[in-house]
Amino acid sequence: MNERELHRLRQDAEANARQAAELPQFKLDRTTRQGIGRGRVRARRRRTLYGAGGVLVLAAALLLTLAALRPGSVLEPEARIAANRDWGAFEAFREAAEGDSALISALNRGEVRPVGTTVERQGYTVTLDGVAADSRSTVVLYSVTNKSGQQARIGDASVVYGRSGSESGSTQSGESLLESGGTSYHVLSSTSLEGQAGSASALRLILTSGDAKARLSSTNKYRTEIEMPFTLDRAALAARERTIQQERVLTIDGQEIRVTRLLSTPLGIYVDIDYAASNSKRIFGLIAPTLTIEQKGEAETLETVGSLNDALRFPGTALTRPDSVTLHIEGISALERDKLKLVADTEQMRIIRAPDAKISVEAAEPQYGGSGSIAFRRAGSLPEGMAGNMLLGSTFTDGSGARHELDSSGQGFTSRMTTGPEGDVTVTRDYFGIGTESWPQPLTFEIENYPNPILQKGSLRID
């Protein structure tokens, strides 16, 4: 995986929760899973920030094996089970799982396997309570007990795959601050990059003392790193996955969207999509995709719970032998290919070239990088169900033609987004670090994602 792919994955995962950047971590992750920031999320490594807390981790020791699971028919992962089913040992995770329909479905069906591995270090006890996985994602349920005598910050949690130690983009729920004497419960959802998810994996996380001295320290003195290896029986998991492989084409605004495969797993349903190279516009994502399953006159509509490498992910269905499966969208987010450059004079703070007239440039607030960063401001609201972040390529070109890397030093991110009302208008700002040098002007950026809704409904039967 090259540096450009790493950068784009880093940007995509950050964007998913930016709309709620000022929310506490617990509320932020719950809201994110309920729909904020839905849209295209590429499968490239990235550090996730989710507002106040991180989600890349370092973690410690022991093994877990998932036993072979019973075989299933196409689209079988969901059995008809009451939503209020007792989760047994995982009942304490009900609040952390709130809003994650795919995980709730898996817990209802007993797809999360208990582990119970525990590591104690520096007054912290971390327990790997349970794991569920398929060929494309891993979900880890873990708990932390703090007996250090001080408040602790729980962050930088991730799943590490294989001998290479590759970390995946992740989302995490649960309180990020834990008082001494308390226990918190967390759900870590991790994407598995293709060809990466072998049997060996590990949970990593970092616990940091929450006192003022620790917050101001730049050393690792106050950080406790924990890594907890586990194994997954990937062959047994693969035996439960079923595929419908046939290409269907949906045309929206003259642009071809190809559905190439539907994959059903114990954790949900994935719909693989691709965009025709001949399209006149670059498609960034689909708006509000849903999947309708019909069986014997009964229908169930599933809302997407995220996306991975141009695959839409949906929770499992209660209809085990469907007569039809249909994808519905409200439209697409796309731009003409000649509008994929953004040119700005960052000394005079003016836009020279942009996809539309809604965007302006200004100095970033101190908390978002100050003099080393700029903010692209966009006015106007967007349809529900589409990602609102603007993403740029990993480099920019100055007025002399020299290329430079976007600067993430000191902030832990390359871009960040905030959104909120200003008078009667909703205003979104995307922040990017360009460094403190006086670059020859203007600066030219490559647009990787720009929210430009084209509202045209479409449906495609894909079974």
Does residue 429 or residue 109 have the better pLDDT?
Answer: 429
403 and 309 in a single domain? The answer is no
Length of the chain: 463
Average pLDDT, the chain: 77
Q: How far is C-alpha 125 from the geometric centre of its chain's CA atoms?
A: 27
- Cβ neighbours around 424 below 10 Å, total: 5
pTM of the model: 0.72
320 and 414 in a single domain? The answer is no
Distance CA 391, CA 10 (A): 10
The single-letter code of the amino acid at 321 is R
Which pLDDT score, from 0 to 100, does residue 38 have? 32
Q: Is residue 418 part of a domain?
A: yes
Distance CA 124, CA 234 (A): 31
Distance CA 179, CA 400 (A): 53
Boundaries of domain holding 308: 242-334+456-461
285 and 346 in a single domain? The answer is no
Q: Is residue 387 part of a domain?
A: yes
Distance CA 270, CA 5 (A): 22
> With 60 as the cut, is the pLDDT of residue 110 above it?
yes
Domain boundary among 238, 254, 279: 238
268 and 343 in a single domain? The answer is no
Beta carbons of 183 and 193 less than 8 angstroms apart: no
Q: Is residue 95 part of a domain?
A: no
- Main-chain dihedrals φ then ψ at residue 58, nearest 5 degrees: -125, 135
Q: Is residue 2 part of a domain?
A: no
Which pLDDT score, from 0 to 100, does residue 172 have? 67
> With 90 as the cut, is the pLDDT of residue 213 above it?
no
260 and 397 in a single domain? The answer is no
Label residue 305 by pLDDT band (50, 70, 90): confident
pLDDT in tens, 271-281: 999 999 999 99
Beta carbons of 310 and 40 less than 8 angstroms apart: yes
Q: Is residue 105 part of a domain?
A: no
Lowest mean pLDDT among 58-67, 333-342, 365-374, 399-408: 58-67
Label residue 366 by pLDDT band (50, 70, 90): confident
Domain boundary among 215, 238, 261: 238
Distance CA 435, CA 345 (A): 14
437 and 382 in a single domain? The answer is yes
260 and 201 in a single domain? The answer is no
Joined tokens for residue 418: 């905030």
Lowest mean pLDDT among 54-68, 117-131, 235-249: 54-68
Contacts of 369 (CB under 8 A, 6+ apart): 410, 411, 431, 433
Does residue 54 or residue 109 have the better pLDDT?
Answer: 109
Does residue 282 or residue 315 have the better pLDDT?
Answer: 282
Label residue 219 by pLDDT band (50, 70, 90): low
Beta carbons of 450 and 282 less than 8 angstroms apart: no
291 and 309 in a single domain? The answer is yes
Which pLDDT score, from 0 to 100, does residue 455 have? 97
Label residue 403 by pLDDT band (50, 70, 90): very high
What CATH code is carried by the domain that includes residue 59?
Answer: 2.60.40.10
Q: Is residue 19 part of a domain?
A: no
Domain boundary among 201, 219, 238: 238
Lowest mean pLDDT among 66-80, 153-167, 445-459: 66-80
Distance CA 126, CA 395 (A): 40
195 and 133 in a single domain? The answer is yes
Beta carbons of 201 and 64 less than 8 angstroms apart: no
Mean of pLDDT values over 149-176: 73
Q: Is residue 101 part of a domain?
A: no
Contacts of 50 (CB under 8 A, 6+ apart): 14, 16, 17, 25, 28, 29, 32, 171, 172
pLDDT in tens, 4-26: 444 444 444 444 433 333 333 33
Which pLDDT score, from 0 to 100, does residue 370 have? 73
Which pLDDT score, from 0 to 100, does residue 32 have? 37
Q: Is residue 265 part of a domain?
A: yes
pLDDT in tens, 143-162: 999 999 989 888 888 888 76
Domains: count for the chain: 3
227 and 119 in a single domain? The answer is yes
List the end-to-end C-alpha distance of the chain, in Å, as a whole number.
Answer: 33
218 and 365 in a single domain? The answer is no
Joined tokens for residue 169: 């983009």
Which pLDDT score, from 0 to 100, does residue 401 have? 97
Beta carbons of 349 and 341 less than 8 angstroms apart: no
62 and 190 in a single domain? The answer is yes
Convert the chain into a string of H (helix), E (strand) and C (coil): CCHHHHHHHHHHHHHCCHHHCCCCHHHHHHHHHCCCCCCCCCCCCCCCCCCCCCCCCCCCCCCCCCCCCCCCCCCCCCCCCCCCCCCHHHHHHCCCCCCCHHHHHHHHCCCCEEEEEEEEECCEEEEEEEEEECCCEEEEEEEEEECCCCCEEEEEEEEEECCCCEECCEEEECCCEECCCCEEEEEEEEECCCCCCCCEEEEEEEEEECCHHHHHCCCCCCEEEEEEEEECCHHHHHCCCEEECCCEEEEECCEEEEEEEEEEECCEEEEEEEECCCCCEEEEEEECCEEEEEECCEEEEEECCEEECCEEEECCCCCCCCCEEEEEECEEEEEEHHHCEEEEECCCCEEEECCCCCEEEEECCHHHCHHHEEEEEEECCCCCCCCCCCEEEEEEECCCCCEEECCCCCCCCCEEEEEEEECCEEEEEEEEECCCCCCCCCEEEEEEECCCEECCCEEEECC
